[in-house]
Amino acid sequence: MRVGWIGFGEAASGIAAGLISAGLTDMIAYDLDARRAAQRVAPLGITLKDSLEAVVEESDLLLVATPGHVAEAVARSAAPHLRPGLIYGDCTTTSPAAQGRSARAIAARGGLFVDAALMDAVPLRGHAVPILASGPGSRRFAEMLRPFGMQIEVLEGEPGTATAVKLVRSIFMKGLAAITIETLIAARVLGLGDLVVASLRSTLATPFDILAERLVVGTVTHAGRRVHEMDAALGMLAEQRLQGVMTAATRTLLERASRVQWDRVTFEEALQSATDLFRT
């Protein structure tokens, strides 16, 4: 089986190295930045091609790992050169709608599109990075790569389903990273680092589903009071000449949530209330 890469940056080289170590050694690649790609493929023994078309025409499985903003253009460029039935795995991070448009371009030429969402950092996990796959080629995609140690979960649904899961998760993970940075900066400036970390360690040891219910219900029920708490936090940060970007955003959410008054509320009622408030 020959694997063709379109785009050969950090993610592609990390996955390719793992596949080669697992015995999948026949690979070719194309990248607009030929000099950078040459440096990455040389240690792996991968053949670098001088055109996208050559990779498409000579591969049994295509893996696209370009920047997300060019993914649709890549699909349109690759489509005319596809053999019917060729698996086209899009590993980029773009929108679900863009994945759908790329899938239609590939399907029009008989290709089998896979929305392949990488769910962790490749430098940490290599080719064993968890992948969610949706779209018409997903099951075959998984069958081709699981024997070489790739961790692929096939989802029911159209192309874009896997990407939607990744992006919703990213709202949490990137937001968590941002609020963590803001919290630790404030704790450090105020000389409270150890105390704050110890308190958060205890809270975050709670299983996520239990913690999520507590946070959602508590936010809707006590939003009004918590607006004032965030005002106090923003005032404290201002006194230390710190910008409370995430704190201000939290205050905005709480202010909007305070428009609904509940004495008692279930998790589902609280989440539905919040959904109605934040729908555009």
User: Which one, of 38, 24, 73, lies nearest residue 52 by Cα?
Assistant: 73
Instruction: Provide the sign of the torsion angle of the four alpha carbons 22, 27, 31, 33, taken in this order.
Output: positive
Please report, for the chain, the start and end positions of each structural domain, with discontinuous segments joined by +: 3-157, 166-278
DSSP β-bridge partners for residue 4: 28, 62
Token pair, residue 86, equals: 């060729």
pLDDT value of position 269: 87
Q: Can you state the percent helix, strand and coil of the chain, rounding each to 5?
A: 60, 10, 30
CATH superfamily of 3-157: NAD(P)-binding Rossmann-like Domain (3.40.50.720)
The pLDDT value given to residue 176: 96
Q: What are phi and psi of 82, to 5 degrees?
A: -75, 145
* Cβ 77 vs Cβ 101: under 8 Å: no
Q: Concatenated DSSP letters for 103-148?
A: HHHHHTTT-EEEEEEE-S-HHHHGGG--EEEESTTHHHHHHHHGGG
Taking a C-beta distance cutoff of 8 angstroms, is the pair 226, 279 a contact? no
Left if phi > 0, otherwise alpha if psi is -120 to 50, otherwise beta: which for 134?
Answer: beta
From first to last of the 280 residues of the chain, give the pLDDT tens digit: 999 999 999 999 999 999 999 999 999 999 999 999 999 999 999 999 999 999 999 999 999 999 999 999 999 999 999 999 999 999 999 999 999 999 999 999 999 999 999 999 999 999 999 999 999 999 999 999 999 999 999 999 999 999 999 999 999 999 999 999 999 999 999 999 999 999 999 899 999 999 999 999 998 889 999 999 999 999 999 999 999 999 999 999 999 988 877 767 889 988 888 888 888 6
Other beta carbons less than 10 A from residue 161's beta carbon: 21
The CATH T-level fold of domain 166-278 is N-(1-d-carboxylethyl)-l-norvaline Dehydrogenase; domain 2 (1.10.1040)
Considering the entire predicted model, what is its pTM? 0.89
- Spell out the long-range contacts of 181-184 with Cβ–Cβ below 8 A and sequence spacing 24 or more: 182/244, 182/245, 182/246, 182/247
Under 8 Å between Cβ of 108 and 125: no
pLDDT of residue 7: 97
